[in-house]
Structure 1
Amino acid sequence: MASPDLSETSNARDLCALCKQPTKHQCGGCETVAYCSGEHQKEHWNQHKDKCKTYKILTNDKVGRYAVATRNLEPGEQVLSELPVVIGPKPDTYVMCLGCYAPVDGSTLCSRCGWPVCGPKCEDAPCHAEAECPVFRSARVRFQPVENCMDACPQLNCIAPLRLLLAKESNPERWESEVKFMEGHNEERRETPIWKNNQINVVEYLRSACKLTNRFEEDLIHTACGILDVNSFEVRCPSGSTVQGLYPQTAIMSHNCVPNTSHCIVSTEGNRLILRTTVKVEKGSEIHTTYTHTLNPTLLRRDHLKQSKFFDCTCFRCSDPTELGTNFSSLKCNKCDPGLIVSSDPLDSLAQWKCTHCEFSTPGCAINKVYSVIQSDLDQLEYVDMGAEAVENREALLRKYRSVLHPKHAFLTILRCSLSQLYGRAEGYVLEDLPDILLERKIEICKDVLSVADVIEPGLSRLRGMTLYELHAPVMLFARSQWRYKEIDDKKLRVRLEEAEKYLSEAVAILKFEHPSSPEGIIAAISQQSLQKLRESIESLPQS
């Protein structure tokens, strides 16, 4: 990394970090160190580069450590880049290779330790060969065969905690400077089912079966489990599997249900995480990420955060009964026509929900029951193949619940997100074969999703980028179809194609930050090519 450019400082009394002379210039990267010239900045760069960050870490009693911007950050700016301390299987995952994390049936085992791998290449992968492999080999513990390799496999629950404990030994500097400050929430977790499961599947297994009693104390193993449970990020693998990774610097970023950053994880660079801003972040403002599903309603988001991260979210979105005007949690009142049922206190899961137009009210527990029924219906969709049935079942659920939920409710938005991609890809619904009425339907769905995404995931978010990409094609195809049937003239065709170009251009601007090997990165490359062709097509139209 080269040293950033110098910028002007408002403090004329700042002293150059190298020669101590007064200067009006500062490091443009972090705006925390002054220099009298570019030459002195370059001379001082080796000392400064590890501290040159776009953020600084502060603490308070409410959230502990958090990060604020040290200068104004534009959308798309890199906040940080870091390699994981460890990568490993998530708790209760299916059987997977311990080298590349691809799903396996457990029949191919490491020749040295007897645990699942794909073959010799993965057997020699450092993440396995230099971590749990020698431990298992020394203790002579082997992977036990399972009946169904796609069922939850508790045997793998010990892998990530063991790798973290071994990383503590092999890289004590990083543990001391980064990992040990991370919350494990042992006291809160002690009475939970996951603590008891960890006691059996991780703590006792490592200390007894793996003969590590003298290396790792019981509390330390539980702390390792807690650090992973509370702080890890999901990592998508090229094989399609998802595992967990521990990124201490990124975990410092406090949570918000409307994050101002997004991250991508680069599998070809050792699963390096790159965090970028999605919107403008003013100097001194908090840098946020999100630790829950932004497409869930407030009740579910707050419950997930409480159960898995051990804090009560009080962000401005959670505190607003209308979820910033989206009505993402609102239900329709069945006692009056225009009324909406919203929580009287969104930060209390048991609070009364009241109609905005009549006297009707119902307790929060009743809303939870309604949500459970709808969530169960949504969960069933995961078992449907990507054929025509996938589209039809989702449309059926939209019709079923549109009389119950606000049009922009979270559950309906989740269905629309799926449909925005299924229309054009599912069997029987290929984009080129869609009739005009379904092209219009795809346009309507994408615009509905965008109207919500603009509020809850604004700016350069992955959700907006993918939805804009999905939107451009039906706008373009529908315009050409209308022109072909002389429903619009050349002038109107140009307007419609320029609209599609606008959507696609913004999609490219967002998705260009994704790694080329990721699904979104592949779409970014396709989008760039499509954008060029679309612009050529527009230029070839007769001028009005």
Structure 2
Amino acid sequence: MIDKSCVKCEKPSNSFCTNCKLVHYCSRECQKADWKTHKTQCRPFEIKKDEKFGRYLKANRDVEADTIVVSEPPCIIGPKWNNEDEDPSSFTFFCVGCFEALKDLRTKCPNCLWPCCSEECIGLISEELHAIECAFLKAGRGPANKTSIKSVKEYFRQDALLALKILILQRRNPKKFKSLMEMEDNAENRLLTLNFKEAEDRINYLEDNFLKPLKKAEDKSNQVVLPIKDKKILHKIFGIIETNAMYINLANGNEICGLYPIGCLLEHSCLPNCSYSFDMKNGFKINVKAAREIKADEHLTTTYSHILWSTQLRQQHLKDAKYFTCSCERCKDPTELGTHFSTLRCLGSDESPCNGYQLPTNPISPNAEWACNKCPMRIKSDQVSFLTARMNDEIEKVFASSPTCEVLEELIEKLSQFLHPTHYHMFTLKHALLQLYGKHKDCPIESLSEEVLLKKLNLCNELLQIVQTLDPYAIRIPIYIGILYFEKHVALKEMIKRNNNCANIEDARKCLEEAERILKNETDTEQGKQLIQRVADALLNI
């Protein structure tokens, strides 16, 4: 039944704007003619598709910085689908209703008997949370041995729950299920990967504990509950999760995953133009914001990797997890936009030491050699990987021991023989060291010499210059940047105090104001909240 009118010519119409689906047009011609009027209402992007990018988002007009370009609730949320970051010797479990970390497993959902934080947990009855899978989990067999930690851990597999939730959507919400099945699954690329093998393990778990019993019940009752539940569809679901799931940091420090049909179309770039955050109080809605002015026809981008990794690490991660090579401006530049975030010192030969630097001849090629900018010396890419990995192991070992300023200084001095001063390993160590200056019990701020105080200030300035190049709009590492501005203010304030000179007071205030601006959206994590409060307190006391 046609009960709407075209907003341009007022003819009867049952068709929407092809982009935003908000207003009615009777034809493409009317929509095109009305664009100047409608574009301020219309969503600022179009969904496009081509062979190279697949489906992606393109700005359909100029977009001002801080404009929300996408605001979308998740199709589904659930526990992390992988546990690669977890200690295999530990046993961490989260409430099946609200994902709160559990101290023990004594409290259970009254219906399915999976561990929860409280029988009154609102997540247990939420149609968007545990209610989706509760009846299916209830049909499970339970741990083989309820007194064995190993058996309990093997049964309560939260890494498989998100896939089960999606499978169940074909019954509970076919429209959402269809939307999810349209997402990229990288089927061919996954076949010989570790992800595929791990997915096979999770699929076997789901079949043995829930799907085979369900099939028997269906045969007995002659009623089909889930039309599709074979391995093929489950592998597709895990492929969709691996390719598209976005990690959501909860206030308690835990991570969960969400799938967003439009949000997942943000393209990757190591120099993204969009930031995003999750509205925890509004159903985990994702809000994607323009981090800078975006011109019409630009692709909307985020980053799938870590901005503070080297090009070699970012490329390897993208290849392993997303099955593509990034060729952005930063990745193609051997110096990483002049930051030298991957650059090594050249050791030359035994006969002729060299003061040059080793840079990749082709950064986006995993097998390209590295060449010195001063001598003929070349090294292989896998040698660079081995060297930096060994250094990373040493750094993690030192951090695990709660190091003093002296320990970090010694390690920086040692690694400086092999690395450029602004290499990403040096960045990590310097970022930690400048925070210890004035904060560690062995070197409070009042005890720092003028030389060390100046060193703290110089380290802040050095690292700020790097992050302003790698993340100029504070999209991905606002906490890192906020700490740098806060610590710079600390150094300036101590200098003012010692010299009884207020010349630097405005610089200190500006540091805090910049930190406050950068951290304004970091209220979802405990670390972000604490840093915001420290900045606010410091502003009151400046």
Q: Say whether the fold is shared (TM-score over 0.5).
A: yes
Q: Which residue of 2 aligns with 1:297?
A: 310
Q: Compute the RMSD of aligned alpha carbons.
A: 3.5
1:18 matches 2:32: no
1:285 matches 2:298: yes
In structure 1, which of residues 488, 498, 520 is the aligned counterpart of residue 506 of structure 2?
Answer: 498
What displacement does 1:78 show?
Answer: 1.6
1:309-329 alpha-carbon deviations (Å, 9 max, x no partner): 111222221111111111111
Decide whether the 8 Å contact of 2:460 with 2:485 is kept in 1.
no
Distance 1:145 1:502, change over 3 A: farther
In structure 2, which of residues 247, 260, 270 is the aligned counterpart of residue 234 of structure 1?
Answer: 247
1:66-119 alpha-carbon deviations (Å, 9 max, x no partner): 112222223322221222222222222542222232333434333322222122
**TM-score normalised by the chain length of structure 2:** 0.80
1:272 matches 2:279: no
1:14-69 alpha-carbon deviations (Å, 9 max, x no partner): xx961439xxxxx9x99x9999xxxxx9xx9xxx8998322212122112111122
Decide whether the 8 Å contact of 2:77 with 2:256 is kept in 1.
yes
Q: Which residue of 2 aligns with 1:351?
A: 368
Matches of 2:182 and 2:496, distance apart in 1: 63
1:360-392 alpha-carbon deviations (Å, 9 max, x no partner): 0011111111122112223335634xx5x2655
Q: Which residue of 1 aligns with 2:427?
A: 413
1:457-479 alpha-carbon deviations (Å, 9 max, x no partner): 1124353x435543444444444
What displacement does 1:255 show?
Answer: 0.3
Instruction: Describe how 1:1-40 pairs up with structure 2 within 5 A.
Output: 18-20=7-9
What displacement does 1:357 show?
Answer: 0.8
Aligned length in residues = 491
Partner SS, residue 382 of structure 2: helix
Decide whether the 8 Å contact of 1:294 with 1:456 is kept in 2.
yes
1:132 matches 2:146: no
What displacement does 1:200 show?
Answer: 2.5
| 2:424 counterpart letter in structure 1 | A
Q: Which residue of 2 aligns with 1:539?
A: none
Matches of 2:110 and 2:431, distance apart in 1: 45
Q: Which residue of 2 aligns with 1:540?
A: none
What displacement does 1:285 show?
Answer: 1.2
Instruction: Describe how 1:125-524 pairs up with structure 2 within 5 A.
Output: 125-126=125-126, 128-142=129-143, 147=149, 155-176=157-178, 178-201=179-202, 203-211=203-211, 212-213=214-215, 215=226, 216-335=229-348, 336-381=353-398, 383-384=400-401, 387=402, 389=403, 393-423=407-437, 427-428=441-442, 437-461=451-475, 463=477, 465-485=478-498, 487=499, 489=501, 493-494=502-503, 496-515=504-523, 519-521=527-529, 523-524=531-532
Matches of 1:70 and 1:484, distance apart in 2: 53
Q: Percent same amino acid among aligned pairs?
A: 27
Q: Which residue of 2 aligns with 1:70?
A: 60
Decide whether the 8 Å contact of 2:57 with 2:267 is kept in 1.
yes
Q: Which residue of 1 aligns with 2:218?
A: none
| 1:286 counterpart letter in structure 2 | H
Matches of 1:248 and 1:514, distance apart in 2: 24
Matches of 1:403 and 1:440, distance apart in 2: 23
1:425-452 alpha-carbon deviations (Å, 9 max, x no partner): 5555666776655543432332222111
**TM-score normalised by the chain length of structure 1:** 0.80
Decide whether the 8 Å contact of 1:89 with 1:160 is kept in 2.
yes
| 1:346 counterpart letter in structure 2 | P
Q: Which residue of 2 aligns with 1:103?
A: 101
Matches of 1:159 and 1:483, distance apart in 2: 56
Partner SS, residue 335 of structure 2: coil
Matches of 2:493 and 2:515, distance apart in 1: 21
Partner SS, residue 59 of structure 1: strand
Partner SS, residue 289 of structure 2: strand
Q: Which residue of 2 aligns with 1:112?
A: 111
Decide whether the 8 Å contact of 2:356 with 2:373 is kept in 1.
yes
What displacement does 1:521 show?
Answer: 4.7
Matches of 1:196 and 1:323, distance apart in 2: 35
Matches of 1:182 and 1:525, distance apart in 2: 40
Matches of 1:503 and 1:514, distance apart in 2: 17
Distance 1:162 1:150, change over 3 A: closer
Q: Which residue of 1 aligns with 2:78?
A: 88
Decide whether the 8 Å contact of 2:70 with 2:289 is kept in 1.
yes
| 1:235 counterpart letter in structure 2 | I
Decide whether the 8 Å contact of 1:318 with 1:346 is kept in 2.
yes
Decide whether the 8 Å contact of 1:75 with 1:459 is kept in 2.
no
What displacement does 1:121 show?
Answer: 3.0
Distance 1:337 1:475, change over 3 A: same
What displacement does 1:135 show?
Answer: 0.6
1:332-380 alpha-carbon deviations (Å, 9 max, x no partner): 1111443110111112111111001110001111111112211222333
Distance 1:185 1:50, change over 3 A: farther
Matches of 2:448 and 2:74, distance apart in 1: 44
Q: Which residue of 2 aligns with 1:56?
A: 46
Matches of 1:517 and 1:411, distance apart in 2: 25
Decide whether the 8 Å contact of 1:446 with 1:467 is kept in 2.
no
Matches of 1:199 and 1:245, distance apart in 2: 21
Matches of 2:192 and 2:58, distance apart in 1: 34
Distance 1:474 1:366, change over 3 A: closer
Distance 1:366 1:145, change over 3 A: farther
Distance 1:254 1:366, change over 3 A: same
Matches of 2:524 and 2:252, distance apart in 1: 15
What displacement does 1:292 show?
Answer: 0.8
Decide whether the 8 Å contact of 2:249 with 2:256 is kept in 1.
yes
Decide whether the 8 Å contact of 2:108 with 2:116 is kept in 1.
yes
Matches of 2:151 and 2:437, distance apart in 1: 32
1:193-230 alpha-carbon deviations (Å, 9 max, x no partner): 332222222x2222332034562121111111111111
Q: Which residue of 2 aligns with 1:531?
A: 539
Decide whether the 8 Å contact of 2:249 with 2:525 is kept in 1.
no
Partner SS, residue 341 of structure 1: strand
Decide whether the 8 Å contact of 1:354 with 1:362 is kept in 2.
yes
Distance 1:283 1:34, change over 3 A: farther
| 1:209 counterpart letter in structure 2 | N
| 1:155 counterpart letter in structure 2 | R
Distance 1:141 1:61, change over 3 A: same
Matches of 1:430 and 1:125, distance apart in 2: 51
Q: 328-337 or 425-434, which moves further after superposition? A: 425-434
Distance 1:152 1:455, change over 3 A: farther
Distance 1:422 1:60, change over 3 A: farther
Matches of 1:327 and 1:253, distance apart in 2: 28
Q: 162-171 or 288-297, which moves further after superposition? A: 162-171
